[in-house]
Structure 1
Amino acid sequence: MTDYTQDSPDDEIISKSQRKRDMDSLQDLGKELVELPNDKLKRMELPEDLLTALLDHKRFTSHGAKKRQEQYIGKLMRDVDPEPIRRQVAVIKGDSAEHNAWLHLVERLRERLLADDAALAPFLVDYPATDVQTLRTQIRNARKEQLESKPPKNFRLLFQTLKGIIPEPGHSAPEEEQE
């Protein structure tokens, strides 16, 4: 009598067509990575051999060499989880709804802090590791800029500071808190 309750290795058979679609998808992701500037590639969390292959692709001038390198990049990507890379590429290209929502949150908080002094207390409750003195100075300087119709240098600086304080969803703690 055959025991049908055990899982056999055949339960997870993937068709040849599906494997080909998966490989094409990885090669397409590799092509997207190749189109990114070198400095953005270096800031991404990529395996060293994949980063080297991507940077090498940019050096090649021959069409055939580029095609072979793209296939090699696709092969390297088989050993990597592509989802974190896809998310990073989406953030860089501005296609990530989650990243855009986070940026809008930071903008709203900046507007609240500039509009009302009372907004600082709840902000400090939510983000207790904040350097209060620096934040107050930046808020004061940004308000002064707006009143005097000066270029928004401190307004932008306040935004960058808030980006460093407020953790982005799906990422580790902000850089200042990691130390």
Structure 2
Amino acid sequence: MRHHDDHPDHDDDIEWVSKSEMKRESHALQQLGMDLVKLKPSDLAKVPLDDELKDAIALAHKLANKREAQRRHMQFIGKLMRSRDVTAIREALNAFDQKSAVANAHFHKLEQWRDRLIKEGDKAVNALVAEHHQLDRQKLRQLARTGRKELAAGLPPKAYRELFQYLKENLTS
């Protein structure tokens, strides 16, 4: 009579994955495929994809108006993703997210400067010009002053927008 302990255990090398875990991975890959379909063509061209995936994504764009067909096709893209190493694809998408986050941070910084210039006037203008010597002090003062007047009078924020545009064009970081 043999006991279970008498023979070497070969199950140590096998990694068991639950059905739920397999479904989660499948859904994550399908979501990755959806993220690829949502990319602009210029960004999609930067992602390392094989021809089969490129063709599947192109077909997904054509099926945009057909809900059920697109749903099934997205499942197909998810299936295609399961047979590929998606590390490079994820890295490319993360790079887009980081680039977007940096752009958003810069945009918020510009908005903060604009609001500070209008609120504080010359004090903020001097602080900004001290940091960024290339800016035109007179133009900043004039736009900030006009923006304050527009705000106080309840007029459309023309100078407010012009001030933001000026900052956007002249502040790179």
State TM-score, norm by structure 1: 0.52
Change (3 A) 1:72 1:89: farther
CA RMSD of aligned residues (A): 4.5
The question of whether the paired residues in 2 share the 8 Å contact of 1:33 and 1:89 is answered with no
Deviations 1:57-89 (A, max 9, x none): 121232433422344467677262524524645
2:100 aligned with 1:68, yes or no?
Answer: no
Match of 2:112 among 82, 85, 108: 108
Provide the residue aligned with 1:28 in structure 2. 31
Q: Quote how far apart the aligned CAs of 1:149 are.
A: 1.5
The question of whether the paired residues in 2 share the 8 Å contact of 1:30 and 1:74 is answered with no
Letter in 2 for 1:111: D
CA distance in 2, matches of 1:108, 1:150: 21
Letter in 1 for 2:93: I
> Which structure: larger Rg?
2
CA distance in 1, matches of 2:54, 2:150: 43
Change (3 A) 1:66 1:103: same
- Aligned with 1:150: secondary structure? coil
Aligned length: 147
Letter in 1 for 2:164: F
The question of whether the paired residues in 1 share the 8 Å contact of 2:110 and 2:164 is answered with yes
Letter in 1 for 2:130: V
- Aligned with 2:40: secondary structure? helix
Deviations 1:119-142 (A, max 9, x none): 112212323344556544533442
Q: Quote how far apart the aligned CAs of 1:117 are.
A: 1.0
The question of whether the paired residues in 2 share the 8 Å contact of 1:42 and 1:51 is answered with no
Unmatched 5+ stretches in structure 2: 1-14
Unmatched 5+ stretches in structure 1: 1-14, 168-179
Provide the residue aligned with 1:12 in structure 2. none
Change (3 A) 1:41 1:153: farther
State TM-score, norm by structure 2: 0.53
Q: Quote how far apart the aligned CAs of 1:146 are.
A: 1.7
Provide the residue aligned with 2:123 in structure 1. 118
The question of whether the paired residues in 1 share the 8 Å contact of 2:30 and 2:79 is answered with yes
Provide the residue aligned with 1:78 in structure 2. 86
Q: Quote how far apart the aligned CAs of 1:114 are.
A: 1.1
Letter in 2 for 1:85: L
Match of 2:151 among 146, 155, 158: 146
Provide the residue aligned with 1:47 in structure 2. 47
Change (3 A) 1:79 1:159: same
